[in-house]
Each structure stands twice: as structure tokens, then as C-alpha cells.
Structure 1
Amino acid sequence: MDVQALTQASDQALDAGEDVLRKSPEANTDVPAIFRNAPSGVEFKKLRKRLLRQTREAIEDYGMAPVLEPGAARPKWLVCLSGGKDSYSLLAILIEMRWRGLLNVDLIACNLDQAQPGFPPDILPKWFADNEIENVIVREDTYSIVTDKIPAHRTYCSLCSRLRRGILYRIAREQGCEAIVLGHHREDILETFFMNLFHGGRLASMPPKLLNDEGDLLVLRPLAYAAESDIAKFARGMEFPIIPCNLCGSQDGLQREAVKKMLQDWERQTPGRLGVMARALANSRPSHLLDRSLYDFEGLRPGTGAGAAALAGEAEEPCAASLAMTDKLFANE
């Protein structure tokens, strides 16, 4: 089945599901518990469809879920739940995909309690129980390690992330999972790209699918196509019990926050720009960059035919910036 047919079939299934969700909560026994009190308004329905479609497309485009042979056991995914809007939304969307037969994997929600002062230990266990979600909660005092090793005026994110990732790998192995699944969205990926560009001197970002260094676990980001604003609206509509991060989230002047503000300003000035930038990350042209390890510049010579074959028409394609400037210059003619 092609992508268009899959999209149509999924939309029809979603419409049918919405008819069920419009009933009273008492009648919604055949839908996932997490959606029994979901909003049934038209705008939320469109939002939910869009996020479902974008998540499914990312999973299909990057081959995140394996094609199973008949009778084969379903793989397990460890869905990392921090208590923020992104991870709540990710888990809800994956649960809906499972319910609609669009995702043939088992899901285990995982919260890593990092012993941050003031972290409410009762919210997530109750939420998991109320919504009938299989889960594992692990407490590891990474907070003390991070605050001990990093001066108060420095950012904690790098060390905190490394410690957290190592623990999540261990939990995934203990639970028999083939992947850990993270709630990073389109803006997270763009922010990481610009962080690497401005401060790391390299073109790199967060890939939607990554194999860990040991080669035994995948790291997946199914929300790679989803806009942060859509996720925020979805989380508000679902009334998730958001738990703020009081570690890195409490530090002012982070470089990532500066990049985030830059991207938000660009989007306000030119709506749709972030979508174009995100598509660019999946449309690289090594022959038009400077990386000699990706393209044989030394072997490029006139008259050999090698250049045309390698470029496959790239050299004749006009520069997008030139096209935009031309459109602007001649807009009034």
C-alpha cells in the first residue's frame, strides 16, 4: 500500500474512532484509557490527525518499526517519559497508533526519577495507573552528581544528558527492548543543528533513527516531523500533568535558549520557514558543500564526464536564495 492509500486509510480509521470518542466517558471502554476524556472538537480532531500522520510518516520514512514475519514476536520500545509536554504527547500518539493497528510493537513507558529537589513522586505513578499504561519507574540520583561536578554558573545539560542516556540504555536492556524512544520534535532537531553550526563547527543534528555505540539498541525520535506548537496545543487539550524540570530549566542564558528564540523570531517574521529548514536537513547536496570525505572534489575534472554523473543534475539547478531574490525583485511586475 502506498503512502497516499495509507494516509487515507488512517484518516478513515481516525474518523471512526472520533465517533466513539464523542460518546460519554462511560461508553468509551473500547478506546485507550488515555483518550476517554480527550476533546472532541473539530480543531483538536484536526490537530490529533496531523500529529498522528506526521508520526506515522516519520516511522515509515526511517524504518523505525520492523516488518514482522507471521508469528514473530513483537519488539518492545522503551518510551521515555520525563513529565514534559513532548514525552506525554509522544506516548499518547504511539498508544493511538497501536490501537489503530498502525504500529506493531509493545510499549513500555519509563520515567527516570533523577532525585531533583521538589520532584513530585506521586504524579506519574497515578497517571500511569489511571490510564492503564505499562510502565517502569527508576530512581537514580544523577542530580547530586551533576551539581557536584558542574559549577553553578555552567550549564548542566551535557553531563545530565549523558548520565540519563546511560541509565536508559541499561533499563532498555533489562526490559528486553530493542529501542529507546524520545520525544524530540522538529524544533529540537533544528536547534541542535544550529548549536552544532554555531558552536561545534559541524553540520549535524539529531537523527530520527540512530544505533547506539554498542550496536544493540536503537534511539528513535518519531516526533521528528511534528511542530512544537502543535505538541503544546495537544498537551494542553489532553490536560497532561506537566512536571517542570528544575535543573537545566532553572538556568538563564543557555545557548540553546538563544537559538530557540532566534528560530521563533524567524518563524514569526516568515511563517513556514521552520518547515522549509526542516526539509533541508533531509535534502543535502554534498557536491555543494565543503566536506571532502563526502564528495570527490579532487577527482572532479572537465571533460571526464565524472562530474556530471556524480552531480546528477545538481549543477544546473538554480540556487534557492537566487530564486527567492528574483521573486521579490519582480513581484510588482
Structure 2
Amino acid sequence: MSEQLHDAEAKAKKAQFEGNKLTKRLRHQVGDAINDFNMIEEGDRVMVCLSGGKDSYTLLDILLGLQKSAPINFSIVAVNLDQKQPGFPEHVLPQYLESIGVEYRIVEEDTYSIVKRLVPEGKTTCSLCSRLRRGILYRVADELGATKIALGHHRDDILHTFFLNMFYGGKLKAMPPKLVSDDGKHMVIRPLAYCREKDIERYATLRAFPIIPCNLCGSQPNLQRQVVKEMVNDWDKRFPGRVESMFRAMQNVVPSHLADTGLFDFAGLQTGDAPFEGGDTAFDKEEFRDPQPPVEDDDAAPQAAAPRRTISILDSRPKAPSEASGGSCGA
């Protein structure tokens, strides 16, 4: 009996250690993304779009944690768009948000009926649904005075979008971690840009978020995005480190070695006496090695660390008394 109790205690300690390690890794990745792209600034009012899925729950949870230790003051308001899907549990999100004491707004708009009426049976609803949702969220951001709109897209979403655009759209394009909205009035940020989906899944389980499944688009079979997701996941299993290498490639673009005449002046390219930076060596002959598997140790140095801003969102220095009062807008 005592041996079983000892084993149970050992397993509990190991689970706690792994949970703390995962939390630390996600906090650092979100903090790095915020710093690298200057996503959140002093006095910002961040509208976190909460769908009820694992990604947006994790985004809100990590941002609330960082808000407590950040050397800058910013407020957070969670917004959920109730699209009137049949069977949607309307009570789940209000109960959860009230339990954690965060300011929130539930917006009720029957986009479900619009999408089902306009999109033929068997066709994907994602495009129309996202346009309707985007317009509503922009309007709500204005009403709430939000300076930033935070979405829960993660690193895998960004890579999937990259391949979708390459395979089906003929473009080298993905989801940027930060962009100006279609109407030019709003700044959209993706603080989970450096986070892996499998880490987010583990974190959502660890935190026991009340996940709400999407029965409008999530249940549609054979979506192109799902096909690409399965392809990337297969690569991740068979070739550890490949996904990390692909994401780093998106941060190391060499326009002179692509073929976009609008991005690089190939027509005006001239030879000269001085060495040409980035020029070909030995007629493009390069040696490639298999990428290294990702390092799970959170204290290890990143493989390709980008320059960091002087003030870090992860800085845990206490705020000055004059600054501390404006940091939170929780209900």
C-alpha cells in the first residue's frame, strides 16, 4: 500500500513539474512574440477574441498572467461572438469569465443562419463565416475602445496558411503575427505565433478549460486546411525539427534568391568590382543537413534568437505606485 502511495506521489510530482515547465515555455514564447513585434504597448486595451476553443482560452490565460508581471500597464477585455449555432451552450463562457474576474462582452449575432442560407450544402463555410465574424469584431473593438485585437492563431496555423497559399493560391503568404485590419483602423495581433499546437493542447488539458466544440465548420470533412495539417503533422512525427526549421525560414526571407520582380530589382541588377552581398557561391551549390529536434529545456538558448527589445513583457519588476493602478480592468 505504501509503495503504491509513493508511486502516486512520484507521478503527481512529475506531472506538476512537467506542467510548470510547459507553462514557463508558453509564457516565454508569448512574451518573445509580443516583444519581437511590439504587439502590446503602454496603455493598450487588448480585445481578446474568445471562441471557446483551446487556442483562445490559452491566449487569454497567458495574457492575464503576463499582465500581472509586465513593466507596462495594459487592460484586457474578452469578447465572444455567439453566432447562434444550434446547441451552443450559452452559459459556459459567461460562467468561466466571471469566475476568473475578467471584463468581457458576449456579442449575439445570427451569422449561422446567414451562412447556411448563402452557402450551398456540401461547400465549406469558412470564407463567408470569417468575413462576417471579422466585420462584427471590428465594430465591437470600436465600441469597446480596443487598441489591439488579439487572435488565438498559433505557429502551426501560420505554417498551414503558408502551405495553403503556396499549393492553392500561388503565393508565398501566411498569417503575420501583427497586421493592420482590412478597414485600416485596427491592429490585429497573434501573441501565440511562436507556440506549438501540441503544447497548447496539453496546456488546455492541464488548465481544464471548458472547451466548446464548433459544429458549424469544425465538423466539415476533407477541408484543404485539414489535409495540409495532416501533412505537416506527419512531417513532424517522421522528421523531428522540420517544422521548427520551416517556421524559421519564414523569418529568414532572401528576396534576391526568389523570383518576385516586384520584391527585388532583377532587371536592374548589375555586376561590379566589389563582392555582392548574398551573391551565389559556386553556382548555388549548398550543403544541407537534417534539422535538429527542438530543445524542450526552457532554459536553453534558442537556436536562432532574434534581437529583443530593451523592455520585456516578461519582466517581473514591480510597477511604480503611480503606474500600478491602471494595469487591470477586470470586472
- Provide TM-score, normalisation by structure 2: 0.80
Answering whether residue 175 of structure 2 is matched by residue 206 of structure 1, we say yes
Query: Alignment RMSD, CA only?
Result: 1.9
Q: Give 1:318 deviation, angstroms.
A: 9.5
Match of 1:84 in 2: 53
Match of 1:315 in 2: 280
Q: Which secondary structure state, in structure 1, belongs to the residue aligned with residue 48 of structure 2?
A: strand
Q: Which secondary structure state, in structure 2, belongs to the residue aligned with residue 41 of structure 1?
A: helix
Q: Give 1:317 deviation, angstroms.
A: 9.5
One of 164, 168, 179 as aligned partner of 2:148: 179
Q: Which secondary structure state, in structure 2, belongs to the residue aligned with residue 250 of structure 1?
A: coil
Gaps of 5+ in 2: 1-13, 291-331
Q: Give 1:215 deviation, angstroms.
A: 2.3
Counterpart amino acid of 1:90? L
Residues 1-12 of structure 1 mapped to structure 2, 5 A cutoff: none
Match of 1:152 in 2: 121
Alpha carbons of structure 1 residues 51 and 319: separation in structure 2 relative to 1, 3 Å: farther
Answering whether residue 77 of structure 2 is matched by residue 108 of structure 1, we say yes
Match of 1:291 in 2: 260
Q: Larger RCO: Structure 1 or Structure 2 (Cα < 8 Å, ≥ 6 residues apart)?
A: 2
Match of 1:9 in 2: none
Return the alpha-carbon distance in structure 2 between the equivalents of residues 207 and 139 of structure 1: 28
Deviating more after overlay: 187-196 vs 100-109 = 100-109
Q: Give 1:301 deviation, angstroms.
A: 2.4
Q: Which secondary structure state, in structure 2, belongs to the residue aligned with residue 138 of structure 1?
A: strand
Return the alpha-carbon distance in structure 2 between the equivalents of residues 44 and 319 of structure 1: 46
Alpha carbons of structure 1 residues 317 and 44: separation in structure 2 relative to 1, 3 Å: farther
Q: Which secondary structure state, in structure 2, belongs to the residue aligned with residue 42 of structure 1?
A: helix
Answering whether residue 47 of structure 2 is matched by residue 47 of structure 1, we say no
Q: Give 1:314 deviation, angstroms.
A: 4.8
Counterpart amino acid of 1:224? A
Answering whether residue 206 of structure 2 is matched by residue 231 of structure 1, we say no
One of 208, 212, 217 as aligned partner of 2:186: 217
Match of 1:259 in 2: 228
Answering whether residue 216 of structure 2 is matched by residue 241 of structure 1, we say no
Alpha carbons of structure 1 residues 210 and 268: separation in structure 2 relative to 1, 3 Å: same
Match of 2:269 in 1: 300
Return the alpha-carbon distance in structure 2 between the equivalents of residues 160 and 103 of structure 1: 35
Identity of aligned residues (%): 51
Q: Which secondary structure state, in structure 2, belongs to the residue aligned with residue 295 of structure 1?
A: coil
Is contact 1:47-1:230 (8 Å) kept? yes
Match of 1:95 in 2: 64
Deviating more after overlay: 129-138 vs 99-108 = 99-108
Match of 1:277 in 2: 246
Cα deviation per residue 1:230-271 (whole Å; 9 max; x = unaligned)? 000000000000000001111100000000000000000011
Residues 102-141 of structure 1 mapped to structure 2, 5 A cutoff: 104-141=73-110
Match of 2:111 in 1: 142
Cα deviation per residue 1:142-185 (whole Å; 9 max; x = unaligned)? 00111111112110101101110110000000000011100000
Answering whether residue 133 of structure 2 is matched by residue 164 of structure 1, we say yes
Q: Which secondary structure state, in structure 2, belongs to the residue aligned with residue 323 of structure 1?
A: coil
Q: Give 1:320 deviation, angstroms.
A: 9.5
Is contact 1:209-1:220 (8 Å) kept? yes
Q: Give 1:101 deviation, angstroms.
A: 2.1
Q: Which secondary structure state, in structure 1, belongs to the residue aligned with residue 288 of structure 2?
A: helix
Alpha carbons of structure 1 residues 317 and 90: separation in structure 2 relative to 1, 3 Å: farther
Alpha carbons of structure 1 residues 243 and 158: separation in structure 2 relative to 1, 3 Å: same
Match of 1:56 in 2: 31
Counterpart amino acid of 1:56? G
Return the alpha-carbon distance in structure 2 between the equivalents of residues 269 and 253 of structure 1: 23
Q: Report the count of equivalent residues.
A: 277
Return the alpha-carbon distance in structure 2 between the equivalents of residues 233 and 318 of structure 1: 46
Is contact 1:97-1:103 (8 Å) kept? no
